[in-house]
Amino acid sequence: MTGNNNRGVLFKEHSDYQFIDAKVNSNTLVIGGGIAGIQASLEVANAGYQVYLVEKSGTIGGHMAMFDKTFPTLDCAACILTPKMVEVGQNPNIKLMTLSEVKEVRGAPGNFKVKIEMKTRRVDIATCIGCGICTEKCPARAPSEFDAGISQRKAIYIPFPQAVPNKYLVDKDSCTYFKTGKCRVCEKVCPAGSVKLDDKDSEIEIEVGNIIVATGFKPFDPARAEQFGYGRYKNVLAPLQFERLINASGPTAGQIKMQTQDKKGKWVYSTDGNEPESVAIIHCVGSRDHNYNKHCSRVCCMYSLKFAHLIKEKLPNAEVFEYYIDMRAFGKGYEEFYQRIKEEGVHIIRGRTAKVEEAGNRLKIRSEDILAGKLIEQNVDMVILSAGLEPRENAKNIAGMLDVSSDETGWLTEVNDKSAPFVSNRPGIYLAGTCQGPKDIPDSVAQASAAAAVVLQSIGSGKIKKYVADTTATSL
Amino acid sequence: MNDIRIEPKLKEKLEAFGLADNNLCFNCGNCTAVCGLTERDLTFPRKGIRHLQLGMSEKVNQSVEPWLCYYCGDCSKTCPREANPAEQMMSLRRYLTSVYDWTGLSFKFYTSKLWELGALLFVGAIVLGLFGLYHATSAEPIIWDLRDGYVHLNSFAPVMYVHYADWVMAGILSFFLLSNLFNMYLTIMRSDKSLKIPLHLYFTKIFSIPLHFATQMRFKKCDNKIGFWFMHLFLMSGYGFMFILVLVLLPWFQIDQGINWTTYPGYYATFALLYGSIYCIIGRLRKKDEVHRYTHPSDWIFLIMLFLTTLTGIMVHVFRYYLLMPAATYYTYAIHLAIAVPMLVVEVPFSKWAHLAFRPFAMYFADIKKAALAIKK
């Protein structure tokens, strides 16, 4: 293995990369507008180069936008994220394409030709003044994606108040007009004439030199683990639902409430509900489990401890029980956070919960306290299932389209897990965030910046960095 | 406090008893919590698996918990590590059977197919030998024709001789089984010095034994496994009826001519044994239910012997009553006994069938221990 690095110096045999001359297009494509995609886009754009940021949903922000606080510092997630989102929206070097998906990638490293399908918003971003009359008058409702299904939104809506772009969009699936052929109320009431229900999807082709993949993860659907009763019993929550429940902009204005019946008799989370006196948090739901996912999802222990803290903060008299298998507080400040939560009086029990059953108005959970060797049967008011992280359903398709490798689970694989943990096996394509494997916010951000650094290196040198797969490392 | 002795090779030792990879378990406790039979102070399967991982052979030997499991398989189905706790419990039961057995034969039978088959053949040969010996020394001739229109089975195997031989066999069987039971008592109840057990509990809890023996009511507590419980009870009732017919009522059961009141329970027992053994054989071939997924050689041998015993029993009946074939009746009868007797002698005290005694006694011991713990508190 010999060759020249970009300064013309013969590189050593143990280097794991080489530079290939290419006419590198200075535009960069970033796929995915979560925290990793946002970070990568800003790094490249701030260096003065054009970025295309393609986001599937109607707003950037990703999962982080749904979080209430971040561990271990308990900073408000939105306070960290939303300024970055605004920056993306305002940066002239970033061409943001929401409701868009990459359909095809052709060409060679340095000169990719990318076909992007842009679904119509049915609202003209340029003229919409954001007055909100359309939403007010819209008769159709659907579960809010942003509130993880614990509140309702209209068919024409802004995903959340800080969305970027902060413009309305029409959800075809829940819209009365698209279901019945009648309605069009939003079009009639719009003072700017911006609602265009008959707009069609479009497709464009762009040319880029490098691609950063930041397509993120999918939360494990706890309904798949039937033994925990999610979707069947009241007050059994998925983690993102609890994030929204405890968030000041959520359906209970941040108060921790149990489900209550609304006027129509439907069970909803609202400020009228009762406060839970006891909450159980069950770790490793869908993770470290051969029936679902073998991997550890890395973040669940910490967000579970965060939940325990937030409950104790808002309801000091509530009893909180954490049922865990192994406590993984591996990051900087995480172990200290764990000890702090213990001191706050949270009951932390080693043992996996096997089932959740309904017991009158309460929930009965059954676990073994491993350290005491005793069986525990306990009634609580609320159960939070700490569901893990999974690759997106279409992760394999994304890998196939980009011609990068992915592992058996579906995580995109890095070319070298030590020296190039954010580089795909295909030159010119880099990985950032949870598309490569479960990780927390600091790691996602660090990886995004690293990917941006290599992209900028490529643009600056006019060369493509080609990593040589590590043949000495044994496969996991 | 006694020293705890560690037997590092314990896991390897149990592999011959059907234990697969014991290290897969990461001790999350799911199996214990999902189990409908586990109780606050008597938790399983995880504890037993842990003791195996650590090589704590004394704890394993003293444990009563493996016998409390009826193998519904929920733990294996939901185990996040596919560590198969239910089969680990089954392996422990096999192993414990060999621990209680002071002769060492159980260990040989479980760990070597050759030993088990050899023992079956050996006892079978003795049975055939006894037939030969009887006819070589007896003055009574075998009636080979259909004199008076019926098969004279009692001229080939006079019922009273068979009856006495049954008692001798039952005596041998009981001796081994009861001595192994006593050994079980010593292992479970006498070796654990930490718990003082008041003597009166042995009397007040004695009803546990017939109760669990006859009803297997704990099986019903296994979630959604009423079908298996019924099947097991049905099979066992067939076995029970047949046992009484052969051991107590043989002079009425084995008559040469006509039918009498013993015939109907005989039919019931035959049907139960046939249905039960075929059900289990098909189940183990299909491997659909958790309880039938893993089969140790001793399970196959037991099931096949049970099936063959039933089948040859039916054949004797058909040859004798319906086809009126004396020679076929006699030979099948000899083969029938040459299968049934070794099955009972080998399986009841030393192998799979020993659970008929160990299980109810384990529940008895468990009840005593629980009561003693309650008194202590």
Computed over its alpha carbons, how large is the radius of gyration of chain B? 23
Domain count, chain B: 2
Comparing alpha-carbon positions, the chain B residue that sits nearest to A370 is B29
- In a shared domain, residues B352 and B301: yes
Residue B26: pLDDT band with limits 50, 70, 90: very high
pLDDT number for residue A318: 97
Q: If DSSP states are collapsed to H, E and C, what string results for chain A?
A: CCCECCCCCECCCCCCEEEEECCCCCCEEEECCCHHHHHHHHHHHHCCCCEEEECCCCCCCCHHHHCCEECCCCEEHHHHHHHHHHHHHHCCCEEEECCEEEEEEEEECCEEEEEEEECCCCECCCCCCCCCHHHHHCCCEEECCCCCCCCEEECEECCCCCCCCCCCEECCCCCHHHHHCCCCHHHHHCCCCCECCCCCCEEEEEEECEEEECCCEEECCHHHCHHHCCCCCCCEECHHHHHHHHCCCCCCCCCCCCEEECCCCCEEECCCCCCCCEEEEEEEECCCCCCCCCCCCCCHHHHHHHHHHHHHHHCCCCEEEEEECCCCCCCCCHHHHHHHHHHCCCEEEECCEEEEEEECCEEEEEEEECCCCEEEEEEECEEEEEECEEECCCHHHHHHHHCCCECCCCCECCCECCCECCECCCCCEEECHHHCCCCCHHHHHHHHHHHHHHHHHHHHHCEEEEECCCCCCCCC
Cα–Cα distances (Å) from A296 to A281, A353, A387, A390, in that order, read 17, 17, 11, 10
Comparing alpha-carbon positions, the chain B residue that sits nearest to A378 is B33
Comparing alpha-carbon positions, the chain B residue that sits nearest to A364 is B33
Look at phi and psi of residue B73 and say left if phi exceeds 0, alpha if psi is from -120 to 50, else beta: left
Nearest C-alpha of chain B: how many angstroms from A145? 30
Mean pLDDT in residue range A329-356: 96
Neighbours of A14 (CB within 10 A): 6
- Residue B265 resides in a domain: yes
Using CB atoms, pick whichever of A288, A326, A373 lies closest to residue B43.
A373
Comparing alpha-carbon positions, the chain A residue that sits nearest to B26 is A325
Mean pLDDT in residue range A322-331: 96
Cβ A215 vs Cβ A398: under 8 Å: yes
Interface of B with A (CB under 8 A): 26-34, 38-41, 43, 46-47, 78-82
A278 interfaces chain B, CB cutoff of 8 Å? no
Is A352 in contact with B81 (Cβ distance < 8 A)? no
Looking only at the bridges linking them, the beta strands covering A389-391 and A217-219 are antiparallel
Residue type, A248: A
- Residue B89 resides in a domain: yes
Contacts of B65 in chain A (CB under 8 A): none
Nearest C-alpha of chain B: how many angstroms from A299? 19
Is A354 in contact with B38 (Cβ distance < 8 A)? no
Contacts of A357 in chain B (CB under 8 A): none
pLDDT number for residue B222: 80
Residue A286: pLDDT band with limits 50, 70, 90: very high
Q: Which residues 320-359 of A have a C-beta within 8 angstroms of B?
A: 325-326, 350-355
Spatial neighbors of A5 by CB under 8 A, at least 6 apart, are A11, A15, A18, A19
Residue A14: pLDDT band with limits 50, 70, 90: low
Which residues is A429 bridged to in the sheet? A211
Q: Looking at residue B257, what DSSP letter applies?
A: S
pLDDT number for residue A471: 53
Using CB atoms, pick whichever of A352, A374, A375 lies closest to residue B28.
A352
- In a shared domain, residues B93 and B160: no
Q: Which two tokens stand for residue B48?
A: 């037993």
Q: Looking at residue B56, what DSSP letter applies?
A: -
Question: Cα(B238)–Cα(B268) distance, rounded to whole angstroms?
Answer: 7
For the stretch B170-196, pLDDT in tens is 999 999 999 999 999 999 998 777 788
- Residue B2 resides in a domain: no
Q: What is the mean pLDDT of chain B?
A: 92
Comparing alpha-carbon positions, the chain B residue that sits nearest to A376 is B40
Contacts of A368 in chain B (CB under 8 A): 29-30, 32-33, 38, 43, 46
Task: Please give the angle made by the CA atoms of A387, A390 and A393, to the nearest 5 degrees.
Answer: 130
Q: Mean pLDDT check: name the lowest of A59-63, A370-374, A437-441, B137-141.
A: B137-141
- Residue B1 resides in a domain: no
Helix (H/G/I), strand (E/B), else coil: B120: helix
Sign of CA dihedral B287, B288, B293, B299: negative
- The percentage of residues in chain A with a pLDDT greater than 90, rounded to a whole number, is 91
- In a shared domain, residues B43 and B136: no
- In a shared domain, residues B116 and B43: no
Mean pLDDT in residue range B291-303: 92
Is A352 in contact with B40 (Cβ distance < 8 A)? no
Contacts of A354 in chain B (CB under 8 A): 29-34, 78
Q: Which helix (H) or strand (E) holds B125?
A: helix B113-137
Question: Cα(A269)–Cα(A258) distance, rounded to whole angstroms?
Answer: 6
Residue A9 has pLDDT above 60, yes or no: no
pLDDT number for residue B41: 82
Mean pLDDT in residue range B73-101: 95
- In a shared domain, residues B55 and B75: yes
Mean pLDDT in residue range B243-247: 93
Mean pLDDT in residue range A219-236: 96
Question: Cα(A389)–Cα(B26) distance, rounded to whole angstroms?
Answer: 21
Q: What is the mean pLDDT of chain A?
A: 93
Sign of CA dihedral A253, A257, A263, A266: positive
Is B33 in contact with A290 (Cβ distance < 8 A)? no
- In a shared domain, residues B156 and B177: yes
- Residue B156 resides in a domain: yes
Contacts of B79 in chain A (CB under 8 A): 290
Mean pLDDT in residue range B299-325: 94
Instruction: Pick one of 3.40.1010.20, 3.50.50.60, 3.40.50.2300, 3.40.50.1010 as the CATH number of A220-390.
Output: 3.50.50.60
Residue A100 has pLDDT above 50, yes or no: yes
- In a shared domain, residues B313 and B297: yes
- In a shared domain, residues B83 and B202: no
- In a shared domain, residues B25 and B115: no
- In a shared domain, residues B76 and B134: no
Q: Which phi and psi (to 5°) does residue B170 adopt?
A: -60, -35
- Residue B171 resides in a domain: yes
Residue A474 has pLDDT above 60, yes or no: no
Mean pLDDT in residue range B51-66: 94
Residue A1 has pLDDT above 50, yes or no: no
For the stretch A108-150, pLDDT in tens is 999 999 999 999 999 999 999 989 999 999 999 999 999 999 9
Q: Which two tokens stand for residue B314?
A: 């039916």
Residue type, B73: G
Buried b (16+ CB within 10 A) or exposed e, A272-305: ebeebebbbbbbbbbbbbeebbebbbbbbbbbbb
Q: Mean pLDDT check: name the lowest of A223-232, A462-471, B257-266, B303-312.
A: A462-471
Contacts of B82 in chain A (CB under 8 A): 290
Mean pLDDT in residue range B59-88: 94
Is A370 in contact with B30 (Cβ distance < 8 A)? no
Is B33 in contact with A284 (Cβ distance < 8 A)? no
pLDDT number for residue A290: 95
Contacts of A290 in chain B (CB under 8 A): 79-82
Residue type, B216: Q
Residue A346 has pLDDT above 90, yes or no: yes
Nearest C-alpha of chain A: how many angstroms from B263? 49
Equal CATH topology for A17-119+202-216+392-467 and A220-390: yes
Mean pLDDT in residue range A277-304: 97
For the stretch A78-91, pLDDT in tens is 999 999 999 999 99
A290 interfaces chain B, CB cutoff of 8 Å? yes
Is A288 in contact with B40 (Cβ distance < 8 A)? no
pLDDT number for residue A243: 98
Residue B71 has pLDDT above 60, yes or no: yes
pLDDT number for residue B220: 83
Task: Assess whether the previous peptide bond of A109 is cis (omega < 30° from 0).
Answer: no
Residue B145: pLDDT band with limits 50, 70, 90: confident
Is B29 in contact with A290 (Cβ distance < 8 A)? no
Return the closest-CA partner of residue A158 out of A61, A33, A259: A61
Nearest C-alpha of chain B: how many angstroms from A351? 5
Last residue of a domain, one of B55, B73, B100: B100
- In a shared domain, residues B31 and B114: no
Contacts of B39 in chain A (CB under 8 A): 375
> Strand A374-380's sheet: what is its strand order?
A353-359, A362-369, A374-380
Place of tokens 């990719």: A112
Contacts of B34 in chain A (CB under 8 A): 227, 354-355, 366
Residue type, A276: P
Last residue of a domain, one of B70, B100, B130: B100
Residue A211 has pLDDT above 70, yes or no: yes
Q: Looking at residue B376, what DSSP letter applies?
A: H
Residue B60: pLDDT band with limits 50, 70, 90: very high
Higher-confidence residue of A458 and B226: namely A458
Comparing alpha-carbon positions, the chain B residue that sits nearest to A327 is B28
Residue A338 has pLDDT above 70, yes or no: yes
Which residues form the domain of B31? Answer: 10-100
Helix (H/G/I), strand (E/B), else coil: B39: strand
Residue B4 has pLDDT above 80, yes or no: no
Residue A417: pLDDT band with limits 50, 70, 90: confident
- In a shared domain, residues B236 and B289: yes
Residue A432: pLDDT band with limits 50, 70, 90: very high
CATH topology of domain A17-119+202-216+392-467: FAD/NAD(P)-binding domain (3.50.50)
pLDDT number for residue B2: 61
Cα–Cα distances (Å) from B192 to A42, A167, B55, B58, B185, in that order, read 68, 73, 17, 9, 11
Locate the domains of chain A by residue range.
Answer: 17-119+202-216+392-467, 133-189, 220-390
Comparing alpha-carbon positions, the chain B residue that sits nearest to A283 is B28
A369 interfaces chain B, CB cutoff of 8 Å? yes
Contacts of B81 in chain A (CB under 8 A): 290
Helix (H/G/I), strand (E/B), else coil: B225: coil
- Residue B177 resides in a domain: yes
Burial of B82 (0-12, 13-18, 19+ CB in 10 A): middle
Comparing alpha-carbon positions, the chain B residue that sits nearest to A284 is B80
Last residue of a domain, one of B76, B100, B124: B100
Using CB atoms, pick whichever of B33, B41, B43 lies closest to residue A352.
B33
Using CB atoms, pick whichever of B31, B40, B79 lies closest to residue A374.
B40
